Structure 1
Amino acid sequence: MAVLEPFLKQLKQSGSIMFSLLRPAYSNCRLCGRSMKPIVRAETYADASYARYQLPIIPELCESCNRSIAWIKDVRCLICGRAVHCDDCIRRVDAGFIWNRSAVRYDSVMRSWLANYKYQGQEHLEPLLIDMLEPMFKQMTTELISRLNIKVKPRRYKYMPDILTGFDQMKHHAAACWDIVTYVPISEERASERGFNQAQRLAAGLARRYGLPIASLLLRTRHTTRQSFKTRLERLRDTRMLFTAEPAAAALLTSIYTDKYSHASTFFTLEKQPLRVLLVDDIYTTGSTANSCAITLHACSGITLELYVLTWARS
């Protein structure tokens, strides 16, 4: 038996090496850096107004970090996208946008993630925030197509029915739903201080993934202090006349609208619909910023617009 011990030891070491080679390699969590395994989870949304589907999972995050995401599961207010009863929208007057949808609740964890990205120079978190925004964008697109009965053009290659599924199918629907993507601008002082506009980055990342046109349509007229330090009344006052349209905004919107219906022939007429604009921002609090942006765009354009808002967090 003693003679076999070196052989058995060598065999055990060889087996361990082979097992380590065959074992799937797990990457590290993008947020906390810990090694992670594939996540399997079957939690669902309970809101009856939406189809039941699995709670979003960010593959680049570990189980612990995924569970810390405060996803908005139940949309209680169909105007502002809030997960609880909303009194603000009952008092809503002079509305410029149709509705807002947000991906997460702005709790302490989500606040720290966004602060690290915006103020602590952790720009590597940007793809993560876009990943978190994406599930609500897809849900919003599906909801809008269903509610407004938007006609989606037939797919180009009908003889390959299984090719455009999943992500490609959503790109197809997004192109039919959204005419242009834009974002809430920041002041020159804030851009100089931070080095980037987080709303622009989120909008650009989302538009790039789904092949949607994106443009800067708004300018900020003055610098203001952070909205997070203000009361609701102060926010409403502060956002009055806060934005103006880009000089080329009206011409661009008119051009998109004209191109949309330019293929109609004399033999048939397409039923013209408003131009659908998706406005992106990082946080929705009272909706005063989004509403001010929307009213400004309505005023600058000679065509009918429908503005929808997509934000990363709802406070």
Structure 2
Amino acid sequence: MIRFFGRDVIGDHRTNLLKSYLNAIFYPEHRCLLCEKPIQSHSHDVLQKMLHLPHLCMTCKNELEVIPLNHCYQCHKPIDPQIPVDKEEPLPIQEGTLLCHDCIDANHALSFNRSAVLYNDFMKENIALYKYRGKESLSQIFSYLLKIAYDYYYKDVDIDFITFVPLHSSRLKERGFNQAEQLASQLSFFTGKPVYSLLQRIKETEKQSKHGKRERLKQIEGAFIMEPLVEVNLQDKNVLLIDDIYTTGATLEECAQTLKGAGVNQVYSLTLTRAV
């Protein structure tokens, strides 16, 4: 097992991530990062180790559902172009892209959202283990899924830096960590883009999963302000906003409005999962 000597820095997720990947490279026996079952190593795994790919068993890999090619350009919701949405056909906005019914007439502070995988029962269970039962090791594979999505969707987008959806102080105290901050920090490790804490949550809200879109919009209004000690120049910058789940987009939209009010040019979002 690889160890780093010297003073440990509590909460340094990048160091922990590096330790995990170095151990995966030099020690062939490993377990699936999701289900923890042993994975048999083969000689052809060398390339995988060199690329720092987190290890998953085939069972878990098959549970991951990527967003289909036919999706809403704005919110990344899957769309079947042959099926009307609420009796209205999705609106083509340019060749090869569509808008879902929710996004046709809406005004968006977000330029667009992209998500790594669908929020199916498998991801719901694993995100719950990560957020509520202290299984922070799952952030290794979650952040790598974000990296794959970033490379695919944002490779040609000019991103200046990364930020994340903050937790209210009471919820942060209860949980012990902010999953969005942890994922953003690890995505920064992969991409080389700096990550900054730009937002502060001043309004404690009920869990958004308990409410529909209209209630979410009302509840989240005014929930965020800019961090008062931010020393980074935001004028005309393009920011990537990170969160774990996109449901209605209400939280991300409110964050984007706050950022744009502070001078940010474009706000994009990248989430681990997309609920449908």
| Structure 2 equivalent of residue 305 of structure 1 | 265
- Alignment match of 2:141 (pick from 128, 140, 154): 128
| Structure 2 equivalent of residue 81 of structure 1 | 76
| Structure 2 equivalent of residue 106 of structure 1 | 119
- Alignment match of 1:182 (pick from 145, 163, 168): 163
Q: CA deviation at 1:296?
A: 0.7
- Report the AA paired with residue 36 of structure 1: I
Distance 1:59 1:247 in 2: 37
Identity %: 35
CA 1:187–1:299 in structure 2 vs 1: closer, same or farther (change >3 Å)? same
Q: Alignment partner of 1:121: what SS?
A: coil
- Report the AA paired with residue 81 of structure 1: H
Q: CA deviation at 1:73?
A: 3.4
- Alignment match of 1:245 (pick from 208, 226, 232): 226
Q: CA deviation at 1:74?
A: 2.0
| Structure 2 equivalent of residue 27 of structure 1 | 30
CA 1:245–1:64 in structure 2 vs 1: closer, same or farther (change >3 Å)? same
Q: CA deviation at 1:37?
A: 4.0
CA 1:244–1:32 in structure 2 vs 1: closer, same or farther (change >3 Å)? same
Which one has a larger percent strand, Structure 1 or Structure 2? 2
Task: Decide whether the 8 Å contact of 1:70 with 1:110 is kept in 2.
Answer: no
- Alignment match of 1:285 (pick from 232, 247, 257): 247
Distance 1:113 1:120 in 2: 10
| Residues 33-74 of structure 1 deviation map (CA, whole Å, 9 limit, x = unaligned) | 3232469xxxxxxxxxxxxxxxxx964111111111122232
Q: CA deviation at 1:30?
A: 2.0
Larger Rg over CA atoms:
1
| Structure 1 equivalent of residue 172 of structure 2 | 191
Distance 1:115 1:123 in 2: 11
Q: Alignment partner of 1:196: what SS?
A: coil
Q: CA deviation at 1:203?
A: 0.3
- Report the AA paired with residue 253 of structure 1: N
| Residues 179-205 of structure 1 deviation map (CA, whole Å, 9 limit, x = unaligned) | 111001110111011001100000000
Q: Alignment partner of 1:312: what SS?
A: strand
| Residues 108-142 of structure 1 deviation map (CA, whole Å, 9 limit, x = unaligned) | 11100100000111111111111111110111222
For the pair 1:115 / 2:128, whether they are aligned, the reply is yes
Distance 1:313 1:58 in 2: 19
Distance 2:184 2:71 in 1: 25
Q: CA deviation at 1:237?
A: 0.6
Q: Alignment partner of 1:282: what SS?
A: strand
CA RMSD after TM alignment: 2.1
- Report the AA paired with residue 59 of structure 2: S
| Structure 2 equivalent of residue 155 of structure 1 | none
Distance 2:272 2:54 in 1: 18
| Structure 2 equivalent of residue 159 of structure 1 | none
Distance 1:96 1:212 in 2: 22
Q: Alignment partner of 2:72: what SS?
A: coil
Task: Decide whether the 8 Å contact of 1:184 with 1:293 is kept in 2.
Answer: yes
Distance 1:182 1:128 in 2: 19
Distance 1:313 1:112 in 2: 12
Task: Decide whether the 8 Å contact of 2:34 with 2:60 is kept in 1.
Answer: yes
Task: Decide whether the 8 Å contact of 1:37 with 1:62 is kept in 2.
Answer: no
For the pair 1:210 / 2:194, whether they are aligned, the reply is no
CA 1:178–1:87 in structure 2 vs 1: closer, same or farther (change >3 Å)? same
* TM-score under structure 1 length normalisation: 0.66
- Alignment match of 1:231 (pick from 201, 204, 212): 212
CA 1:209–1:226 in structure 2 vs 1: closer, same or farther (change >3 Å)? same
CA 1:68–1:295 in structure 2 vs 1: closer, same or farther (change >3 Å)? same
Q: CA deviation at 1:26?
A: 4.9
| Structure 1 equivalent of residue 16 of structure 2 | none
CA 1:25–1:192 in structure 2 vs 1: closer, same or farther (change >3 Å)? closer
Distance 1:75 1:310 in 2: 18
Q: Alignment partner of 1:281: what SS?
A: strand
